[in-house]
Amino acid sequence: MLSMLIRFCRCSLAFLSSPLSVSLPIGVFLLLDILNDEYYMKLALELAAKAAGQTGINPVVGCVVVKEGRIVGIGTHLKRGTGHAEVHALQMAGDEAEGATVYVTLEPCSHFGKTPPCCERIIAAKAARVVVASGDPNPQVSGRGIARLREEGIDVTVGVLEQQSRQMNEKFNKYITTKLPFVTLKTASTLDGKIASRTGDSRWVTGTAAREQVHTLRHQHEAIMVGIGTVLADDPLLNTRAPVPAIDPVRIIVDSSLRLPLNARVVTDRSIRTIVLTSGQAAEDKRQALEAAGVEVFVCGTGAKVDLTEAMMKLGEFEIGSILLEGGGQLNGAMLEAGLIDKIILYYAAKIIGGVEAPGTFTFNGIEKMADAIELEQVNVEMAGDDICVSGYPVYTK
């Protein structure tokens, strides 16, 4: 009998939604839902992924409501301050939410924030069971949402596809626990590690597919950060030109001595917020001129260089929870040396250009012994058109 049920639960959703399915006992459908937990949670995760980049410092969350083998409601958190995924899914389900199973990628909130607590909405809907991918690291929520549901007699299962959920919300998970932005380094180089030729030419290192992925990454981060050298060399707009409509990140320029020209496109284009990180020794008149032009200037540290650690703390205070670092070798090296990079994405073009003076991916004093090298964990390698993409998470201590 059990093997028959397992085979049945693996059938298509069309079969489960057919008139034949309504004749089965409710208890059988609850068992089928349990056997299909990963299937429905994968769907909830796919829904959440579609909203990546839209929720600001909030997490991305997906929700699926299932009753008697049928999906009766789906929802995604679309924007900070608006209804959470559970609310959208339960509204779609309506009266059919009673006795249903609610699949949600993150622990339902139990506190009043910008929106009412989702736990109470689930309780009011009289759901029979809730399946949660991962707990919420937010101290205001952590464990409380699950406990509240169980208090009301709702069966709660936690940990279905937990790792996928945590990785999807890695930016939120860091920010909500540290108030520091999650920093993703992205760079494109030749096989010999050059990000430009000895003359400074860098267009284009990689192909179209890799560049399209980079614009998607910009959409998925709240800010993009470059050094003043990049602005002076290329006068970039630093916007998002993805193949689908996307959100432009806040522009952050690291400029210790305020060399940013007032006619630079990141200054004259006021459609996107621009922040300049500078040192305590930068000229006051330059700072005032940039601020008059609509640029926000943050003084970080008292020395001649920007204190990057202080800068990250300040950006976190202004609720910038994620940064895509697209710096040159010096900024990349300084951020890595300071242990401020959380994730590294390296695109390699199948090219070799050489050049002693050609800039490389990282420029800093360097590690003395190979045994002390900064290693990457959870390394992933894939193709982006004709280019190679290597990603991973740096380990700063051994």
pLDDT tens digits, 145-203: 999 999 999 999 999 999 999 999 999 999 999 999 999 999 999 999 999 999 988 88
Q: Is 37 left (phi over 0), alpha (psi -120 to 50) or beta?
A: alpha
Domain finish residue from 150, 170, 190: 170
Residues 269 and 156 placed together within one structural domain of the fold: no
Residue 86 known to be catalytic: yes
Residues 190 and 311 placed together within one structural domain of the fold: yes
Domain finish residue from 146, 170, 194: 170
- Please give the pLDDT value at position 30: 56
Share of the chain above pLDDT 90, in %: 81
Binding-site annotation, residues for substrate: 202, 218, 238, 241, 326
Domain finish residue from 151, 170, 189: 170
Residues 326 and 307 placed together within one structural domain of the fold: yes
Nearest alpha-carbon partner for 326 in 255, 257, 238:
238
- Say whether pLDDT at 12 is over 50: no
Higher pLDDT, 374 or 34: 374
- Please give the pLDDT value at position 20: 39
- With cut-offs at 50, 70 and 90, classify the pLDDT of residue 287: very high
Q: Is residue 29 part of a domain?
A: no
Residues 161 and 186 placed together within one structural domain of the fold: no
- Please give the pLDDT value at position 19: 38
- In angstroms, the CA 171 to CA 182 distance is 5
- Say whether pLDDT at 4 is over 80: no
- Please give the pLDDT value at position 397: 81
Of these residues, 86, 107, 222, 337, which one is catalytic? 86
Q: Is residue 164 part of a domain?
A: yes
Q: Is residue 15 part of a domain?
A: no
Q: Is residue 149 part of a domain?
A: yes
Binding-site annotation, residues: 84, 109, 118, 188, 202, 204, 218, 230, 234, 238, 241, 256, 326, 328-334
The tally of domains found in the chain comes to 2
pTM of the predicted model as reported, rounded to 2 decimal places: 0.88
- Please give the pLDDT value at position 22: 44
Region 107-111: mean pLDDT is 86
- Say whether pLDDT at 283 is over 80: yes
- Please give the pLDDT value at position 260: 98
> Which amino acid does the sequence have at 347?
Y
- In angstroms, the CA 301 to CA 334 distance is 15
Residues 52 and 127 placed together within one structural domain of the fold: yes
For 135, the domain range is 37-170
Residues 90 and 215 placed together within one structural domain of the fold: no
Q: Is residue 18 part of a domain?
A: no
Q: Is residue 13 part of a domain?
A: no
Angle at 101 between CA 100 and CA 105, to 5 degrees: 145
- Say whether pLDDT at 75 is over 60: yes
Binding-site annotation, residues for NADP(+): 188, 204, 230, 234, 256, 328-334
Residues 113 and 204 placed together within one structural domain of the fold: no
Q: Is residue 3 part of a domain?
A: no
Residues 196 and 161 placed together within one structural domain of the fold: no
List, in sequence order, the alpha helices (H) in the chain.
Answer: 2-9, 13-16, 26-35, 37-50, 85-93, 118-125, 144-151, 162-168, 170-178, 208-219, 228-234, 265-268, 284-292, 308-317, 329-337
- With cut-offs at 50, 70 and 90, classify the pLDDT of residue 119: very high
Chain segment 237-277, per-residue pLDDT in tens:
999 987 766 889 999 999 999 999 999 999 999 999 999 99
Residues 331 and 379 placed together within one structural domain of the fold: yes
Residue 336: count of CB within 10 angstroms of its CB: 20
Q: Is residue 32 part of a domain?
A: no
Residues 164 and 185 placed together within one structural domain of the fold: no
Region 215-224: mean pLDDT is 95
Residue 28: count of CB within 10 angstroms of its CB: 15
CATH of residue 223's domain is 3.40.430.10
Chain segment 37-69, per-residue pLDDT in tens:
999 999 999 999 999 999 999 999 999 999 998
Phi, psi of 155 (to 5 degrees): -75, 125
CATH of residue 114's domain is 3.40.140.10
| DSSP reduced 3-state for 216 | helix
Residues 151 and 191 placed together within one structural domain of the fold: no
Residues 267 and 246 placed together within one structural domain of the fold: yes
